[in-house]
């Protein structure tokens, strides 16, 4: 059952306890309702993807209560400082280099060296972040492929029984997702949204690089800087070949070097995936073999990521 919580001190304390226990809590922001989970927890973030039914591990936006918390996860340059001072709290997300000290789940960033961060303005979101005290990963609280929810009822229709709780907060004022600005290279408009791009340009005193529709890198594999193992990856392996490091799945892979989920749980497998790929890359002598993963539920996102890891690399 999904609890309905009122945005009073008791309701927010309950929401924070559920988040601390790894549960998912939908909450209002000024843009749209977010589907929140502890951004430090691999299993909470894996559950976000499972609840949304996303076929890919797109990187998620990390919500923080203030600039101080933002600095614990991301590196701010002059441009980022200026935009944060002008528009936070508000409907602006900045993609910044991930701070070395950030202890986020690699699923949140899709294992990228950057992180999308925003300080929401909605009083309920701000209170929840203050009570919880840690970064909250939150995509829009809809099933994959549906429109973003701007009222608690929309969230309930789509995610009832799939999440621990919904914090009520009325209708969202902006009703459009946040504007995403990439600051890991030339300042770029990655997603138009609630804050006009012109306001961003006026603030930083220069034009934004605007990708053409279809060029926006949303999936991790499309991002040039995305981490790919150096070792060759072989999929659907029921046993390792000589020298291969074997990442198994399920009971059939009892002798694997690492097992994504001995009990065959896809949420557990997703939570382990990026950690295991990195460890396999460190330890592999000749390559990495990966067990077959069922192509259902989160298995689709796992297989998408594995296919990208196994794809031939562009030269250089």
Question: DSSP labels for 155-216?
Answer: HHHHHTTTSSEEE---S-SS-SPPEEEE-SSS-EEEE--SS-HHHHHHHHTSPPEEPPTT-S
Which residue's CB is nearer to Mg ion, number 180 or number 284? 180
> Residue 295 Cβ, how far from ligand TXA at the closest point, in Å?
23
Nearest to 64 by CA among 120, 139, 104: 120
Largest CA distance in the chain: 60
| Closest CB to ligand TXA among residues 140, 259 | 140
With CB under 5 to 8 Å by kind, the binding choice for 187 among Mg ion, ligand TXA, none is none
Residues that bind ligand TXA (CB under 6 A): 29, 31-32, 34, 58-61, 93, 95, 109, 112, 114-116, 120, 138-140, 177-178, 180, 190-191, 218
d(CA 172, CA 122) in angstroms, rounded, equals 8
Which of the choices ligand TXA, Mg ion, none does residue 208 contact, using the CB cut-off of 5 to 8 A by kind? none
User: What is the nearest approach in angstroms of ligand TXA to the Cβ of residue 28?
Assistant: 9
Residue 105 vs 114, nearer CB to ligand TXA: 114
The nearer residue to ligand TXA, 10 or 222, going by C-beta atoms, is 222
Residues 6+ apart with CB under 8 A from 85: none
The closest residue (CB) to Mg ion is 140
282 Ramachandran zone, left/alpha/beta (phi>0; psi -120 to 50): alpha
Cβ at position 140, least distance to Mg ion in Å: 3
Distances (CA, A) of 219 to 60, 232, 246, 263: 11, 21, 26, 29
Site string for Mg ion, 130-169 (x = CB under 5 A): ----------x-----------------------------
The binder of 259, among Mg ion, ligand TXA, none, by C-beta within 5 to 8 A per type, is none
CA distances in angstroms from 242 to 211, 247, 257, 285, 289, listed in the order given: 45, 14, 13, 9, 10
Q: Which is nearer to Mg ion, 35 or 247 (CB)?
A: 35
Binding at 162: pick from Mg ion, ligand TXA, none (beta carbon under 5-8 Å per type): none
Residue with Cβ nearer Mg ion (79 or 95) = 95
Least distance from C-beta 234 to Mg ion, angstroms?
Answer: 34
CB of 184 to ligand TXA, least distance (A): 7
Minimal distance, residue 310 CB to ligand TXA, in Å: 22
Please say whether the beta carbons of 52 and 212 come within 8 A.
no
Measure the CA–CA gap between 78 and 248, rounded to whole angstroms: 45
Please, what is the minimum distance in Å from the beta carbon of residue 96 to ligand TXA? 8
- Residue of 177, 223, 183 lying closest to 74 (CA atoms): 183
C-beta of 140 vs 150, nearer to Mg ion: 140
Q: Does 41 bind Mg ion (CB under 5 A)?
A: no
The total of other beta-carbon atoms located within 10 Å of residue 220's CB is 22
Closest contact distance (angstroms) between CB of 95 and ligand TXA is 4
Give the interface with Mg ion as residue ranges (CB under 5 A): 140
């Amino acid at each position: 059952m999904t609890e309905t919580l009122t945005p009073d001190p008791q309701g927010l304390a309950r929401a924070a306890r559920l988040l601390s226990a790894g549960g998912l809590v939908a909450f209002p922001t000024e843009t749209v309702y977010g589907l929140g989970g502890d951004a430090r927890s691999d299993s909470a973030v894996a559950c976000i993807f499972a609840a949304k039914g996303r076929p890919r591990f797109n990187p998620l936006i990390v919500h923080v209560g203030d600039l101080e918390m933002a600095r614990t996860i991301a590196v701010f340059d002059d441009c980022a400082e200026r935009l944060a001072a002008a528009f936070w709290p508000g409907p602006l997300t900045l993609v910044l280099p991930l701070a070395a000290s950030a202890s986020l789940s690699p699923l949140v960033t899709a294992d990228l060296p950057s992180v999308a961060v925003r300080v929401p303005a909605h009083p309920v979101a701000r209170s929840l972040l203050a009570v919880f005290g840690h970064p909250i990963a939150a995509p829009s609280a809809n099933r994959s492929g549906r429109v973003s929810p701007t009222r608690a009822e929309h969230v309930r229709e789509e995610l009832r029984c799939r999440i621990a709780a919904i914090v009520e907060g009325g209708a969202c004022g902006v009703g459009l997702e946040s504007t995403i600005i990439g600051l890991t290279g030339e300042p770029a408009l990655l997603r138009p949204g609630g804050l006009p791009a012109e306001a961003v340009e006026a603030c930083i005193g220069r034009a934004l690089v605007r990708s053409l529709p279809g060029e926006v890198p949303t999936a991790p594999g499309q991002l040039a800087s995305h981490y790919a193992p150096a070792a060759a990856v072989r999929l659907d392996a029921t046993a390792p070949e000589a020298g291969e490091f074997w990442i198994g799945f399920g009971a059939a892979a009892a002798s694997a070097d690492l097992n994504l989920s001995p009990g065959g749980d896809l949420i557990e497998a997703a939570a382990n995936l990026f950690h295991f790929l990195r460890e396999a890359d460190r330890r592999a002598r000749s390559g990495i073999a990966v067990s077959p993963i069922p192509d259902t539920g989160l298995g689709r996102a796992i297989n998408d990521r594995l296919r990208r890891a196994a794809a031939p690399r562009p030269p250089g």
